[in-house]
Amino acid sequence: MDIGIGLQALHPDPDLSVVDWARRAEERGFSTLGTTDRLVYDTYEPLTALAVAAGATSRIRLTTAILLAPLRANHALFAKSAATLDRLSDGRLVLGLAPGAREDDYNASGVDFRQRGKLFDALLQRATWQWQDHGGIGPRPATAGGPPMLFGGFTKPALRRMITYGRGWIGGAQGVANFRAVLPRVQQAWQDAGKEGTPRLVATAHFSLGPNAEQRLHHRLANYYTSGTYTRESVEAGLTTPEGVAREAAAYAEAGCDELILFPHGGGLEQVDLLADAIGL
């Protein structure tokens, strides 16, 4: 199983360099750099942050985990932006996509929250058409047919998008038990659609290591998710010890996960080394 690491995305420290983080992550052998996405929050815009990371690295993949796709209301411009990043990174971009469930992000963007599913489908149709060298809008992505796409969620529309446009599925950070519970639906949808091979399965998790790790992680997650079952599950699934990280990684691997992306909460550049040491990189 591949192990990736997220950029410091929630309330990013302006003194913590994305360039330094990306280079250290690549040096330590992580498979990918991940980003999260919110509009109404102190986070970096995902494609912009990954573009900075791309310029500082040469091997590590660049994954949106996930990008709130329907907020990108100009579909041709989104396709161009993604193709540009894929081209400039020599084909390292992976697009994890989902519609999101926070209405405030849509209100702030002027995009109708109730129409996000239809907007998502229209974006996918336009982007895949444009990436196949249609419409006269370049650049052509480095990856033939466009960057590989993973889809979050387990509703019927989410699985339909996965089998129509995707290479696989990306799970939320609610722990390995949740991953195992959803997996049969993902695999069955892939099989029923007659897709070749198996879907790529990616999971996400939250971590913080070192002094005051539990306090940092719980405070940031509770603030980020605000309330509800998702908050409780995410906080409870957060990893704050090297032993916990190693156990969870082993459990995801045993469950059939192809890649686990761990997102940091607080701390500095030492979090890259602490995580790499915990999983034996």
Domain CATH code at residue 185: 3.20.20.30
Q: What pLDDT sits at residue 277? A: 98
65 within 8 A of 35, measured Cβ to Cβ = yes
Q: What pLDDT sits at residue 218? A: 86
Q: What pLDDT sits at residue 14? A: 85
SS (H, E, C) the chain: CEEEEECCCCCCCCCCCHHHHHHHHHHCCCCEEEECCCCCCCCCCHHHHHHHHHHHCCCCEEEEEEEEHHHCCCHHHHHHHHHHHHHHCCCCEEEEEECCCCHHHHHHHCCCHHHHHHHHHHHHHHHHHHHCCCCCCCCCCCCCCCCCEEEECCCHHHHHHHHHHCCEEECCCCCHHHHHHHHHHHHHHHHHCCCCCCCEEEEEEEECCCCCHHHHHHHHHHHHHCCCHHHHHHHHHCECCHHHHHHHHHHHHHHCCCEEEEEECCCCCHHHHHHHHHHCC
Query: Which structural domain, as residue segments, surrounds residue 69?
Result: 2-279
Residue 139: asked if its preceding bond is cis (omega within 30°), the reply is yes
Q: What pLDDT sits at residue 11? A: 76
Q: Residue ranges of the chain with pLDDT lower than 50?
A: none
Q: What pLDDT sits at residue 231? A: 60
This prediction's pTM: 0.96
138 within 8 A of 79, measured Cβ to Cβ = no
Phi and psi, residue 135, nearest 5°: 80, -5
Per the structure, how many domains does the chain have?
A: 1
